[in-house]
Structure 1
Amino acid sequence: MVFIFGFHFDDQRLVKASLETFYGIGPKVSQRIMARHYIHPWAKVGSLKNNTLMNLTADLTSMKIENDLRREVQENIRRLKDMGAYRGRRHAMGLPVRGQNTRTQIATARRLNKIERGGSGRVQM
Protein backbone atom coordinates (compact mmCIF):
# COMPACT_ATOMS: atom_id res chain seq x y z
CA MET A 1 0.00 0.00 0.00
CA VAL A 2 1.29 3.42 -1.01
CA PHE A 3 0.24 6.60 0.79
CA ILE A 4 -0.46 9.64 -1.46
CA PHE A 5 -2.06 12.84 -0.14
CA GLY A 6 -3.73 11.09 2.77
CA PHE A 7 -5.10 8.10 0.83
CA HIS A 8 -3.84 4.53 0.49
CA PHE A 9 -3.45 3.04 -2.99
CA ASP A 10 -2.70 -0.52 -4.05
CA ASP A 11 0.81 -1.12 -5.45
CA GLN A 12 -0.54 -2.51 -8.74
CA ARG A 13 -2.77 0.47 -9.51
CA LEU A 14 -1.79 2.88 -12.29
CA VAL A 15 -0.55 6.29 -11.17
CA LYS A 16 -2.85 8.03 -13.66
CA ALA A 17 -5.93 6.21 -12.35
CA SER A 18 -5.03 6.85 -8.73
CA LEU A 19 -4.54 10.58 -9.39
CA GLU A 20 -7.92 10.76 -11.12
CA THR A 21 -9.68 9.42 -8.01
CA PHE A 22 -9.17 12.81 -6.35
CA TYR A 23 -12.04 15.25 -6.79
CA GLY A 24 -10.92 18.00 -9.15
CA ILE A 25 -8.28 16.01 -11.05
CA GLY A 26 -9.28 14.71 -14.46
CA PRO A 27 -7.40 13.06 -17.32
CA LYS A 28 -5.68 16.21 -18.58
CA VAL A 29 -4.56 17.43 -15.16
CA SER A 30 -3.27 13.99 -14.15
CA GLN A 31 -1.35 13.80 -17.43
CA ARG A 32 0.26 17.20 -16.73
CA ILE A 33 1.18 16.20 -13.18
CA MET A 34 2.77 12.98 -14.39
CA ALA A 35 4.71 14.83 -17.08
CA ARG A 36 5.93 17.38 -14.53
CA HIS A 37 7.31 14.57 -12.34
CA TYR A 38 8.62 12.46 -15.27
CA ILE A 39 6.29 9.53 -14.57
CA HIS A 40 5.59 7.09 -17.41
CA PRO A 41 1.88 6.90 -18.42
CA TRP A 42 1.69 3.17 -17.60
CA ALA A 43 3.66 3.34 -14.35
CA LYS A 44 2.28 1.60 -11.29
CA VAL A 45 2.06 3.29 -7.92
CA GLY A 46 4.27 0.64 -6.31
CA SER A 47 7.13 1.36 -8.73
CA LEU A 48 7.46 5.03 -7.72
CA LYS A 49 10.43 6.07 -5.62
CA ASN A 50 9.93 7.71 -2.23
CA ASN A 51 11.37 10.99 -3.52
CA THR A 52 8.86 11.05 -6.39
CA LEU A 53 6.01 10.25 -4.00
CA MET A 54 7.01 13.08 -1.70
CA ASN A 55 7.21 15.53 -4.62
CA LEU A 56 3.84 14.31 -5.92
CA THR A 57 2.22 14.78 -2.51
CA ALA A 58 3.74 18.25 -2.18
CA ASP A 59 2.39 19.16 -5.61
CA LEU A 60 -1.10 17.93 -4.67
CA THR A 61 -1.11 19.92 -1.43
CA SER A 62 -0.56 23.13 -3.40
CA MET A 63 -3.60 22.43 -5.61
CA LYS A 64 -7.23 23.08 -4.70
CA ILE A 65 -8.72 19.58 -4.70
CA GLU A 66 -11.06 17.40 -2.64
CA ASN A 67 -12.86 19.23 0.22
CA ASP A 68 -11.50 22.69 -0.62
CA LEU A 69 -12.83 22.45 -4.16
CA ARG A 70 -16.16 20.97 -3.06
CA ARG A 71 -16.57 23.81 -0.57
CA GLU A 72 -15.79 26.40 -3.24
CA VAL A 73 -18.37 24.92 -5.65
CA GLN A 74 -21.00 24.88 -2.89
CA GLU A 75 -20.20 28.49 -2.01
CA ASN A 76 -20.53 29.53 -5.66
CA ILE A 77 -23.94 27.86 -5.91
CA ARG A 78 -25.02 29.42 -2.60
CA ARG A 79 -23.90 32.84 -3.88
CA LEU A 80 -25.99 32.40 -7.03
CA LYS A 81 -29.01 31.42 -4.94
CA ASP A 82 -28.59 34.37 -2.56
CA MET A 83 -28.33 36.82 -5.46
CA GLY A 84 -31.52 35.42 -6.92
CA ALA A 85 -29.81 34.76 -10.24
CA TYR A 86 -31.48 32.56 -12.84
CA ARG A 87 -28.81 29.87 -12.46
CA GLY A 88 -29.26 29.88 -8.68
CA ARG A 89 -33.01 29.41 -9.00
CA ARG A 90 -32.48 26.54 -11.42
CA HIS A 91 -30.06 24.90 -8.96
CA ALA A 92 -32.58 25.34 -6.15
CA MET A 93 -35.37 23.72 -8.16
CA GLY A 94 -33.19 20.84 -9.30
CA LEU A 95 -33.60 21.72 -12.96
CA PRO A 96 -30.97 21.94 -15.73
CA VAL A 97 -28.84 25.04 -15.30
CA ARG A 98 -27.13 25.45 -18.65
CA GLY A 99 -29.96 25.48 -21.15
CA GLN A 100 -30.64 21.78 -21.60
CA ASN A 101 -34.08 20.57 -22.66
CA THR A 102 -36.51 20.20 -19.78
CA ARG A 103 -39.27 18.26 -21.44
CA THR A 104 -37.56 14.90 -21.79
CA GLN A 105 -33.96 15.04 -20.66
CA ILE A 106 -33.78 16.35 -17.10
CA ALA A 107 -33.26 13.08 -15.22
CA THR A 108 -29.52 13.64 -14.90
CA ALA A 109 -29.90 17.25 -13.84
CA ARG A 110 -32.45 16.36 -11.18
CA ARG A 111 -30.16 13.65 -9.84
CA LEU A 112 -27.10 15.90 -9.75
CA ASN A 113 -28.76 19.04 -8.43
CA LYS A 114 -30.59 17.17 -5.69
CA ILE A 115 -27.30 16.63 -3.86
CA GLU A 116 -26.28 20.27 -4.06
CA ARG A 117 -29.42 22.04 -2.93
CA GLY A 118 -30.01 20.43 0.47
CA GLY A 119 -33.17 22.48 1.19
CA SER A 120 -36.82 21.95 0.44
CA GLY A 121 -36.30 22.87 -3.19
CA ARG A 122 -38.43 26.00 -3.05
CA VAL A 123 -37.13 29.32 -4.25
CA GLN A 124 -37.20 32.07 -1.64
CA MET A 125 -37.75 35.53 -3.11
Structure 2
Amino acid sequence: MLYIMGKRMEPSKSVHIALQAIFGIGKTKAMLICELIGLSQSVKINQLKRMHVEQIRRILSRYFIIGSDLERLIQQDIKSFIKIGCYRGFRHNSRLPCRGQRTHTNAKTCRRVHNTTPYRR
Protein backbone atom coordinates (compact mmCIF):
# COMPACT_ATOMS: atom_id res chain seq x y z
CA MET A 1 0.00 0.00 0.00
CA LEU A 2 1.33 3.41 -0.98
CA TYR A 3 0.95 6.48 1.22
CA ILE A 4 1.73 9.98 -0.04
CA MET A 5 1.50 12.86 2.44
CA GLY A 6 -0.52 10.73 4.84
CA LYS A 7 -3.16 9.69 2.30
CA ARG A 8 -3.60 6.11 1.17
CA MET A 9 -3.44 5.81 -2.62
CA GLU A 10 -5.65 3.18 -4.23
CA PRO A 11 -3.43 0.93 -6.40
CA SER A 12 -6.03 0.57 -9.16
CA LYS A 13 -6.53 4.33 -9.72
CA SER A 14 -4.67 6.54 -12.13
CA VAL A 15 -1.99 8.75 -10.62
CA HIS A 16 -3.70 12.03 -11.47
CA ILE A 17 -6.99 10.78 -9.97
CA ALA A 18 -5.37 9.39 -6.81
CA LEU A 19 -3.46 12.62 -6.13
CA GLN A 20 -6.77 14.48 -5.90
CA ALA A 21 -7.44 12.69 -2.58
CA ILE A 22 -4.88 15.00 -0.96
CA PHE A 23 -6.43 18.16 0.50
CA GLY A 24 -5.37 21.07 -1.69
CA ILE A 25 -4.66 19.09 -4.85
CA GLY A 26 -7.30 19.37 -7.54
CA LYS A 27 -7.48 18.20 -11.12
CA THR A 28 -5.25 20.92 -12.56
CA LYS A 29 -2.49 20.55 -9.96
CA ALA A 30 -2.57 16.75 -10.21
CA MET A 31 -2.17 16.91 -13.98
CA LEU A 32 0.65 19.46 -13.60
CA ILE A 33 2.49 17.14 -11.19
CA CYS A 34 2.17 14.23 -13.63
CA GLU A 35 3.43 16.46 -16.44
CA LEU A 36 6.44 17.62 -14.39
CA ILE A 37 7.43 14.03 -13.64
CA GLY A 38 6.75 12.86 -17.17
CA LEU A 39 3.96 10.40 -16.46
CA SER A 40 1.11 9.77 -18.84
CA GLN A 41 -2.43 9.98 -17.54
CA SER A 42 -3.02 6.26 -17.98
CA VAL A 43 -0.35 5.20 -15.46
CA LYS A 44 -1.79 3.51 -12.37
CA ILE A 45 -0.49 3.86 -8.82
CA ASN A 46 0.68 0.25 -8.67
CA GLN A 47 2.82 0.83 -11.79
CA LEU A 48 4.82 3.66 -10.21
CA LYS A 49 8.48 3.12 -9.48
CA ARG A 50 10.09 4.25 -6.25
CA MET A 51 11.83 7.07 -8.11
CA HIS A 52 8.49 8.48 -9.31
CA VAL A 53 6.99 8.32 -5.82
CA GLU A 54 9.96 10.23 -4.39
CA GLN A 55 9.65 12.84 -7.14
CA ILE A 56 5.94 13.28 -6.36
CA ARG A 57 6.71 13.71 -2.65
CA ARG A 58 9.49 16.19 -3.40
CA ILE A 59 7.28 18.28 -5.71
CA LEU A 60 4.39 18.29 -3.22
CA SER A 61 6.56 19.37 -0.30
CA ARG A 62 8.51 21.98 -2.25
CA TYR A 63 5.94 23.73 -4.44
CA PHE A 64 2.50 23.28 -2.84
CA ILE A 65 0.84 24.03 0.48
CA ILE A 66 -1.32 20.98 1.16
CA GLY A 67 -2.99 18.97 3.89
CA SER A 68 -3.00 20.18 7.47
CA ASP A 69 -0.77 23.17 6.63
CA LEU A 70 -3.38 24.43 4.16
CA GLU A 71 -6.20 23.84 6.64
CA ARG A 72 -4.28 25.77 9.31
CA LEU A 73 -3.65 28.64 6.87
CA ILE A 74 -7.36 28.82 5.97
CA GLN A 75 -8.33 28.91 9.65
CA GLN A 76 -5.81 31.70 10.31
CA ASP A 77 -7.28 33.70 7.44
CA ILE A 78 -10.80 33.28 8.82
CA LYS A 79 -9.65 34.34 12.30
CA SER A 80 -7.96 37.41 10.86
CA PHE A 81 -11.18 38.35 9.03
CA ILE A 82 -13.09 38.07 12.30
CA LYS A 83 -10.42 40.02 14.19
CA ILE A 84 -10.36 42.99 11.81
CA GLY A 85 -14.15 43.08 11.72
CA CYS A 86 -14.66 42.95 7.97
CA TYR A 87 -17.86 41.78 6.30
CA ARG A 88 -16.54 38.30 5.58
CA GLY A 89 -15.48 37.94 9.22
CA PHE A 90 -18.94 38.96 10.37
CA ARG A 91 -20.54 36.40 8.04
CA HIS A 92 -18.17 33.66 9.23
CA ASN A 93 -18.86 34.58 12.85
CA SER A 94 -22.61 34.38 12.26
CA ARG A 95 -22.21 31.13 10.30
CA LEU A 96 -23.83 32.61 7.21
CA PRO A 97 -22.65 32.31 3.60
CA CYS A 98 -19.93 34.89 3.00
CA ARG A 99 -19.42 34.74 -0.75
CA GLY A 100 -22.59 36.45 -1.88
CA GLN A 101 -24.96 33.49 -1.90
CA ARG A 102 -28.66 34.09 -1.51
CA THR A 103 -30.06 33.41 1.96
CA HIS A 104 -33.72 34.38 1.55
CA THR A 105 -34.76 31.07 0.02
CA ASN A 106 -31.54 29.05 0.20
CA ALA A 107 -29.13 28.24 3.06
CA LYS A 108 -32.00 27.47 5.42
CA THR A 109 -30.06 24.77 7.24
CA CYS A 110 -27.17 27.14 7.75
CA ARG A 111 -29.43 29.80 9.25
CA ARG A 112 -31.51 27.43 11.35
CA VAL A 113 -28.90 25.16 12.92
CA HIS A 114 -26.03 27.44 13.90
CA ASN A 115 -27.45 30.95 14.05
CA THR A 116 -27.40 31.11 17.85
CA THR A 117 -23.76 30.15 18.37
CA PRO A 118 -20.95 32.27 16.96
CA TYR A 119 -18.13 30.79 14.92
CA ARG A 120 -15.57 29.16 17.22
CA ARG A 121 -12.47 27.21 16.23
| Bucket of the pairwise TM-score, normalised by the shorter protein | 0.7 to 0.9
Structure 1 equivalent of residue 90 of structure 2 = 89
Structure 2: tracts of 5 or more residues without a match: none
CA distance in 2, matches of 1:5, 1:97: 31
1:31-71 deviation line (CA, Å, top 9, x unaligned): 11111111111210010111111111111112210000000
CA shift, 1:16, in A, is: 1.3
Residues 62-81 of structure 1 aligned to structure 2 (within 5 Å): 62=62, 63-81=64-82
CA distance in 2, matches of 1:86, 1:7: 36
For residue 3 of structure 1, give the secondary structure of its aligned residue in structure 2.
strand
Structure 2 equivalent of residue 44 of structure 1 = 44
Query: Is 1:55 aligned with 2:52?
Result: no
Structure 1 equivalent of residue 27 of structure 2 = 27
Structure 1: tracts of 5 or more residues without a match: 115-119
CA shift, 1:77, in A, is: 0.3
CA distance in 2, matches of 1:17, 1:107: 34
CA distance in 2, matches of 1:6, 1:23: 10
Identity of aligned residues (%): 30
Amino acid at match of 2:83: D
Q: TM-score, with normalisation over the residues of structure 2?
A: 0.85
CA RMSD of aligned residues (A): 2.1
Query: Is 1:121 aligned with 2:118?
Result: yes
Q: TM-score, with normalisation over the residues of structure 1?
A: 0.82
For these two proteins, the number of residue pairs brought into alignment is: 115
